[in-house]
Each structure stands twice: as structure tokens, then as C-alpha cells.
Structure 1
Amino acid sequence: MTTAHDDTASRPGAGEHLREFLRAGAVFILLFAMVVGFTAAQPAFININNLMSILQAVSVVAILGAGVTVTLAVGGFDLSIGAVAASSVMAASYVMIVWGLGAFATIPLVLLLGAAIGFVNAFLIVRLKVPDLLATLSMMFLLTGLQLIPTAGRSISPGLILPDGTTATGAYDPLFLLVGRSSLFGIVPLPVVIMGVVAVLLFVLTERTRIGRLLFATGGNELATRLAGGPTDRLKTLAYVISGTLASLGGIVVAARVGRGDVSSGASLLMDSVAAALIGFAVLGLRRPNVFGTIVGAVFVGVLLNGLTMLNAPYYAQDFVKGAVLVGALALTYGVARGRA
């Protein structure tokens, strides 16, 4: 027989409800506080054009971060995504400027390049048993050097002088440039639409399908998943192929936005994408990789950097502030959860 005293003791108190709220909403609380603070300091921050600008700026980071999230789900980590994106920028530019191909040939070729790189990463990790960090780090260095060889280290733009002394006669396809520069209904930038489509597709794959459950099962306990009949090798290969393909998609968006193959493109994409994926752990208190959290994390970083820029914060302090906020969000989420335990 349960007494009234026992029933009351079993109910969560106000303090428990507060901890649960903080655990699940830490990132959203901080995000709301930043929006309110930046708007109070600079009213133009909340302008619809500026908000769309933020989403456009974070779209590539979110796309790459989604790829990182999938590799984290299988217990891996892809350090090569920034280099894959940068190589894709150079490859897209080279195909159009030097080979003279159009958008309909360039985009599939570059996406295939990213998928192939992801497959090589998976081969190193799954078949040769190279630790994921070492395999993808090696690929990062390989691609960083390889992308410079065809042009002898030069950025790619119309009129490029090739190493053999000839001049490239191709140009960017206007249809290709629309990928990075056009807007839906004149309001929502196309890169934001692409980010949304990627987010929805990956969310459904990882959260609503058997493949998604197996991906997380592989990351949670690979041996148990294999013994239960799960194709863990294929799942890990799929994860890295998805990551490479999304990194190439991000590179295509960058190339279409800037209209040249810049050798320095993708320099910060790795760290920002990883930051977005890590912040995603704190979203809704899930404490695991998830695509929705990664998108929120990318927006979180974008809002922070845009606000600091509008307030004329020195560039050299932005990484410190970004890191401090990231540490705070994760500490609040995990600290509250630990207190609850």
C-alpha cells in the first residue's frame, strides 16, 4: 500500500522541473538571450534582411556539420570535411574555367568527387582499421596539397594562366552561380533552402528509419550491433560517403557564392562545423549527435558572430567568445544532467 507521503516524495519537485528545463533548453535560452541583447544594442540586428544574411552565412557550416553528425553517430569523426569542401571549390572552378563544362556536368562531378573521398576514408577506417582521426587527418593534408597542384598554387578565375603557360578560356556558368546567389521568392537565399532540404532528409534518415537506428547502434556498441546482424561496415561506409558528399555540396555553394576558386576557401569550415555539431549535443538535452541540434548549433554560432560583427567587436576576440559560449552551453547541459543524476 502506497502512503500519501511516499506518493508526494516520488513526484518531481520544482527544483527538478527547473533542472530539466535548463537541461533541455540551455542552448535556446542562450540563443534567445543573445538575440535580445544584440537587438537592444543594435536594433538593425533583428531586421529580416540581416536574419536571412545570418542563415545564408551559416548554411555551408550547417551542411558540413550535418555530415560530421552522421559520422559521430557511428562513433567516428571526419576531420577532412573542410579540405573536401575547399577541394570541391577548386574542382568546380577548374572544371568550368579550364575544361569549359557547364553547371549540369560540374555539379554531379563535384558531388561524385566528395562521395569518392568519403569512400576512401571509409576504406581506410573499415578495411585497413586505421583510426578514424588519423585516416581523416591524413586525407585532410593530402587534399590540402593536392588541390594546389593543377594551378601551381594559384586561385582559379577566368583568364587563369596555367602552369604550362596557356590561358584558360572558360567561365563560370551563370546557372551555377545561381546556386549561391539567387533567392526563393526574393526573400530566402537558395543556400538556406538547400540547408533546409539537407536537414529534413538527414533528420528523417537518422531519426525515423531503421538505418538511422542502426547508425546510432553502431556508434553506441559496434560489436553488439554486429552480433545482432547489423551491417556495421556498410553503415560506417555510408556515414563517411554522406559526409564527403555533403562537404562537396558545401563547396559547391561556396564556389557559386564567391565566383572563383580561392585557395584559402574552407579555412575555417572545419572548426565551425565541428562547433555546430558539438553544440547539437546540448540541444533539447539529448547529449548525442543529432541533425536538428547541429542546425541549431550552426545558427547559434552565426547569430553570435553576426552580433559581434555588428557591435564592431575585434576579430581576434571572436573565436574566444565563440569558444566561451560553447563551453558554457555544454557545461550547463551536462552539469545540470549530472546534478539530476
Structure 2
Amino acid sequence: MAEPEVKQTSSFDLFRFLYKYGTVILIVLLIVGFSAANPSFLQTSNIVTILRSISIVTIIAIGITISLSVGGFDLSVGSVASLSNAMVISMFVWYSQTPVIAIGAAIAAALLVGALNAFLIVKIKIPDLLLTLAMMFIIQGVALTYTRGATISENMIMSNGSYAEGTISPFFAKIGQVPYIILIMVACVVVVHIFLTYTKHGRSLYIIGGNEEAARLSGIAVNKYKVIAYLLSAFFAALGGIVLASRVMTAEINAGGPYLMDAVAASFIGFAVFGAGKPNAIGTFVGAVLIGILANGLVMMSVPYYAMDIVKGAVLALALAITYYKFK
């Protein structure tokens, strides 16, 4: 006698769904909530404001994403951004240099830091988290020493009592304006997404991050790719600092510091966007969008500044809880 046919029923896995789409759902809920509280939230001008506000965070976070792809972690990016910010403005104001030299000097200083990070991590075997934490303070001190603890701006008073004669190039000033600042951010996301996802080198970075020993046994030059990852991390931190300099037209003390934690949060939130399960450029951008929407909405709702970090931290923790909690 034939056994009755048992129908296969597919049950909806809520937690797996939230793991893949939790961050996007949270963004939609925030947009709906902020729009209901203030209809001007969805105006084109405000959307542009949000995109502009997350541009620097996203660029810096892209660098962190690359370091995470090899199983590393670069905490020095905020200080590197500060150093690059000071270098590029000082080249204009103190030394009257061209945009090419000013930007080149800022990037060169950042790559020097990236090379030092890579050497100490790869050759000396210092744990990346501890080393980049130490470098964060060292580079912050170097930047403060270089600027003599002062804000660098046009017509500033020099140590000898005279006024700075250099001016910031009008061409450079456009970099931090809309739409260029947004286009630079989008270009960084697209280029890094293509690099990590569709090139041999990007896949090698992911293999190293997944299992370094297996990557080494399969013939991948692990040390070389780690060096590349930390150099790219420093490069994007420098780019973030340069864009910041163009946006504010000054070099503030520790200007890149406030961007570190938002960039770290965007990078880690991006792990689980669309169920990627690994650091990726698109996910990092979505994480930055979440942070930007949250910050902008809280300001529009007139939330007191001393309470904003509480709300911001709580929502970010919720996003991470939704996206990282997985049922086996």
C-alpha cells in the first residue's frame, strides 16, 4: 500500500528575514516616522542635506570596510583624516601651493601612516586593534603638533605676528559643495564595490578575512594584500579629510575625530545588509544612510543635543541586534 504523500510546507523564517532586511526596514520606519512628525523631512533639499552629511562618514567608512575585509580593523582613520585635513589646508594657507601639491601632500602623509600600520601589523605582529588604537593617539598628536594646536584658516595670524598670505583654491573649494561631494561619495562606493566583489584582488581580500591560513596555503600573498588593505584604508581616510577641508574651508583641531564612531558603526551595520555576512561597500553606504537619517530626523524634531546620543545609540544597537541575531 502506497504511503500518503506528505506535502512540503515552507515556513517563513522571521529572524532570517530580519537578518537580511532589518536595516532597510528600520530606515523605512524612520523615514515614515520623521515624515509624519515633520512633512518637510522628505523635501528634496533635506534629502540632499542628508546625502551631503553622510558623504564624509561614508568615504572614511569605506576605508574601514577594506581593512575589515582582511580580518583587520583600522581605528586610526579619524586621526588620519585630521592629519590630511590639516595638511591640505596648510599647503594652501601657509605655503601658497597648487591644489595638486596640496592634495598630493595630504594623501602622501596618510599613506605613510598606512604603511607604518601595515609594517607593524604584518611584520611585527602587533594586533591590529591595539596598534591602530595607539596610532590614533600618535597621529592625533602629530596633527596637533603640526598645527601648533591652532585652527588653520585664511588670513590667520602666524607665530611671528604676520598674517597668512595664502588662499584656498576656488577649484578645491568646489569639492566639498553639492553635487561634487555626493558624486565623490557615490564614486567611492561603486569603485570599492566593484573592486571587492568582481576582481581577483577583492576576492583574495575576502578569502584572507575568512581564513588567513587557508588563504596562505592556497598561494595567496597574504602579507601583500594586508599591506594593500591598510594603505587603502589610509587613502580613503585621507580623502575624507580632504573633502572635509573643502567643505568647511578650515582645518579644525582633531577635525576627523567625530567621524570615527559613525564610520565604524556604518561599516559594521553593513555586514548584514541584504544578508551579505561580510564587510561590503553597499552595506556600508546603507549603514551610513541609517545614521544620517537618524541624525537629521532628531535635529528636525528638536531633540535636545544632550539626548541625541542616547536615541542614536539605542537605534543603532537595535539595528545591530536585528541584523546580527541569527537562528540556526
Q: Work out which of the residue numbers 264, 267, 279 in structure 2 matches 1:289.
A: 279
Residue in 2 aligned with 1:82?
A: 78
Partner of 1:4: 5
Give the secondary-structure state (helix, strand or coil) at the position aligned to 2:176.
helix
Does 2:34 correspond to 1:38?
yes
CA contact (8 A) 2:83 2:106 kept: no
Q: Is the 8 A contact 1:62 1:195 kept in 2?
A: yes
Q: CA deviation at 1:58?
A: 0.3
Q: Select the residue among 99, 109, 112 that pairs with 1:113.
A: 109
* Deviation (angstroms), 1:218: 0.6
**Which has the larger displacement, 212-221 or 282-291?**
282-291
Gaps of 5+ in 2: none
CA distance in 2, matches of 1:159, 1:318: 36
What is the Cα deviation at residue 3 of structure 1? 6.7
* Match of residue 154 from structure 2: 158
Tell me the TM-score normalised to structure 1 length.
Answer: 0.92
1:219 aligns with 2:220: no
CA distance in 1, matches of 2:232, 2:302: 38
C-alpha contact (below 8 Å) 1:152/1:163 kept by paired residues: no
Judge which range, 129-138 or 157-166, deviates more.
157-166
SS in 2 for 1:4: coil
Give the Cα–Cα distance (whole angstroms) in 2 for the partners of residues 287 and 162 of structure 1. 51
- Which consecutive residues of structure 1, in runs of 5 or more, have no partner in the other structure? 184-188
Listed one character per residue, the Cα deviations across residues 39-96 of structure 1 (whole Å, up to 9, x for unaligned) are 0100010000100110000000001111101111101000000001011111111111
Residue 249 of structure 2 aligns with which residue?
259
Give the 3 Å change call, closer, same or farther, for CA 269–3 of structure 1 in structure 2.
Answer: farther
Summarize the alignment of residues 125-204 of structure 1 with structure 2, pairs less than 5 Å apart: 125-181=121-177, 183=178, 189-204=179-194
For residue 69 of structure 2, the aligned residue among 70, 73, 91 is 73
Aligned-partner Cα distance in 1 for 2:193–2:25: 23
Match of 1:236 in 2: 226
2: CA distance, partners of 1:293 / 1:150: 36
Find the aligned partners of 1:134 and 1:2 in 2 and give their Cα distance.
63
Deviation at 1:138, TM superposition (A): 1.6
Asked whether the equivalents of residues 74 and 215 of structure 1 are also in contact (C-alpha less than 8 Å), the reply is yes
- Paired position in structure 2 for 1:186: none
1:248 aligned partner, one-letter code? A
Deviates more, 1:152-161 or 1:213-222: 152-161
Distance 1:2 1:310 in 2: 65
Which residue identity does 2:94 align to in structure 1? Answer: V
| Deviation larger for 147-156 or 65-74 | 147-156
Check whether the contact 1:151–1:162 (CA below 8 A) recurs between aligned residues: no
Q: 2 CA distance for matches of 1:166 and 1:89? A: 23
Partners of 1:237 and 1:149 in 2: how far apart? 27
Please report the RMSD computed on the Cα atoms of aligned residues, expressed in angstroms: 1.6
Q: Percent identity?
A: 41
Correspondence 1:300 to 2:296: no
State which of 320, 323, 327 in structure 1 corresponds to 2:313. 323
Local SS of the residue matching 2:145: coil
Letter in 2 for 1:12: S
Q: Residue 20 of structure 1: CA displacement?
A: 3.5
Counterpart CA distance in 2 for 1:208 and 1:2 is: 49
SS at match of 1:161: coil
2:198 alignment counterpart:
208
Q: Deviations over 1:163-210 (max 9, x none)?
A: 3545421111111111012x3xxxxx2111001000011001111111
DSSP-derived class of the 2:144 partner: coil
TM-score after normalising by structure 2:
0.96
Alpha-carbon distance, 1:128 to partner: 1.1
Aligned-partner residue type, residue 75 of structure 1 = G
**Alignment check: 8 A CA contact 2:93 2:153 kept:** yes
Matched, 1:249 2:247: no
Shift of residue 109 of structure 1?
A: 2.1
Matching residue's letter, 1:331: A
Amino acid at match of 1:37: G
Deviation by residue 1:220-262 (Cα, 9 ceiling, x = unmatched): 1111100110010011111110010000000011100101111
Number of aligned positions between the proteins: 327
Partner of 1:54: 50
CA distance in 1, matches of 2:79, 2:208: 26
Of 61-70 and 143-152, deviating more is 143-152
| Maintained 8 Å contact 1:282/1:329 | no
The 8 Å contact of residues 56 and 191 in structure 1, kept in 2 or not, is answered as yes
SS in 2 for 1:147: helix
Contact 1:276–1:297, Cα closer than 8 Å, also in 2:
yes
1:100 and 2:96 matched: yes
Distance, in Å, in 2 between the alignment partners of 1:294 and 1:282 is: 10
